[in-house]
Structure 1
Amino acid sequence: MADEHSLPFTPSKIYQRSDEEIATFKALRKERSGKCFVYVFAGIVILCLFTLVFALIVLRFRFPDVNLSSVAVKNLRLSNVGTASSSNSSFSATLVAEVTIKNTNFGRFNFENSTMSMLYGGMDVGDIGIGRWSVKARETRKMNVAVEVRSNRLSDTKNLSSDMMLGKLKLNSYARLSGRVTLLNIIKKRKITEMNCTMTLDLTRGAFEDLQC
């Protein structure tokens, strides 16, 4: 028997959205989609800029700089400085040079065996071997090398006597380093750098001046 006090079920009210609310919802949805597009586009632009800066700065291969920081003179010996005969004038000395190799790359620079030569009038008066070296990324390495220079290695001494009488000898130092720059332990590229320095040896003081590289 049915309960006399039971009430019939009341029909549920279904809320109908107005056209104004639907339009507002669509506008909000469109605005959110627009913002998402802007965020994605901005992210892509930032990523492209970062990649470009990374490629231009980090992945760019540069030539290492090789220079002479200083040159000291030891055991300077002069013969027949005051004579006019070029065949009798001669000199010899030990030059202690500090070579600096500045690696501005973001990768290690490994170079092969090389030779540094000292020149007078374009002719070789002494040279020294430079062994295999490695310079870390963004670092400068210094090397001390001793070069024996002798005028008896000259094939032409026509200007030697007059230069020695003036007390000034102009010398050149030349070296050519060939090696590889390695970036991220993956990318390798061969680089060749040269050093060409000029200097004047003051025979009176036994010291160099006007060192330029």
Structure 2
Amino acid sequence: MEVESLKQEENKTMMMMAQHDRNPNKKRRRKIICLVVISVILALALIFTILGLTVFKAKRPVITVNSAVLSDLHFSFDMARLRVFLNVTVDTSVAVKNPNRVGFEYINSTALLKYRGDVVGEVPVPAGKIGARDSKIMNVTLTLMLDRVLSNSNLYSDIMSGTLPLQTYARIAGKVRMLFNIHVVSYFSCDLEVSISSRNITKLQCHYKTKL
């Protein structure tokens, strides 16, 4: 009996020693696994950061006014009633280029026709999307609203001089989705002079502005 009890105690001692030997191995494995997981996470974060700052960095859409053409101009003056009739329509072709590797989505906007700072015509620009590294042509037709321009005291002197100063303006706002949404706003404005006698645009100067 004593021999058997001694053997049992020896077996228990050996099992405890074996378990003690295995525990450090388990701890080592866990540490190694944790280090590998952390290293992978840090590597992926570094890769995404580099891509975000280089390949997938958000770029500003480029707006270019290709042309502004006077499609209609009609002017008459009623001497008896001292009334002016003036109809001006400007067709503007605008190119919007998306240099990003992902699509650019823009919301509803409005193109404006201005006369000496006053809005005298407007037309909606519907929302849309421009594909990655693609361009889109927007044809905008702006017509002067006579009732809005008659109240301006400079109208008669401009008509007498034979030149009507106008300005076209539009703001296009949208977003580029990289790792997250990046909002972009682009503007363009064109100063133009309309010759009443020759019925054409004699001067066109455009300005562009974009911000992230």
The interval holding the TM-score normalised by the smaller chain is 0.5 to 0.7
1:19-53 residue CA offsets vs partner (Å, 9 max, x unmatched) = xxxxxxxxxxxxxxxxxxxxxxxxxxxxx89x75x
Q: What does residue 187 of structure 2 align with?
A: 194
**1:54-133 to 2 correspondences below 5 Å:** 54-80=51-77, 88-133=83-128
* Deviation, structure 1 residue 198: 1.2
After superposing on structure 2, the runs of 4+ consecutive aligned residues of structure 1 that deviate more than 3 Å are: 54-57, 87-90
* Secondary structure, counterpart of 2:121 in structure 1: strand
Instruction: Answer whether contact 1:89 1:160 (CA < 8 A) is retained.
Output: no
Between the aligned partners of 1:190 and 1:152, the Cα distance in structure 2 is 37
Q: Where does structure 2 lack aligned partners over 5 or more consecutive residues?
A: 1-45, 207-212
The alignment of Structure 1 onto Structure 2 pairs a total of residues equal to 160
* Secondary structure, counterpart of 1:147 in structure 2: strand
Label 1:109 to 1:154 Cα distance change in 2 as closer, same or farther (>3 A): same
Between the aligned partners of 1:89 and 1:202, the Cα distance in structure 2 is 16
Q: What does residue 20 of structure 1 align with?
A: none
Q: What does residue 203 of structure 2 align with?
A: 210
- Calculate percent identity across the aligned residue pairs: 27
Between the aligned partners of 2:202 and 2:134, the Cα distance in structure 1 is 27
* Deviation, structure 1 residue 64: 1.5
Structure 2 residue corresponding to 1:172, chosen from 164, 167, 174:
167
Q: Which amino acid aligns with 1:189?
A: I
Structure label with greater radius of gyration: 1
TM-score, length basis structure 2: 0.66
* Deviation, structure 1 residue 80: 2.3
Between the aligned partners of 2:204 and 2:131, the Cα distance in structure 1 is 27
Give me the CA root mean square deviation: 2.7
Q: Where does structure 1 lack aligned partners over 5 or more consecutive residues?
A: 1-47
The structure with the largest helix share of the pair is: 2
Instruction: Answer whether contact 1:90 1:152 (CA < 8 A) is retained.
Output: no
TM-score, length basis structure 1: 0.65
* Deviation, structure 1 residue 60: 2.1
Between the aligned partners of 2:194 and 2:158, the Cα distance in structure 1 is 10
* Deviation, structure 1 residue 140: 2.0
Between the aligned partners of 1:62 and 1:155, the Cα distance in structure 2 is 43
1:152-202 residue CA offsets vs partner (Å, 9 max, x unmatched) = 21363211111112221111111111111123xx53211111122211112
Label 1:73 to 1:79 Cα distance change in 2 as closer, same or farther (>3 A): same
Instruction: Answer whether contact 2:113 2:143 (CA < 8 A) is retained.
Output: no
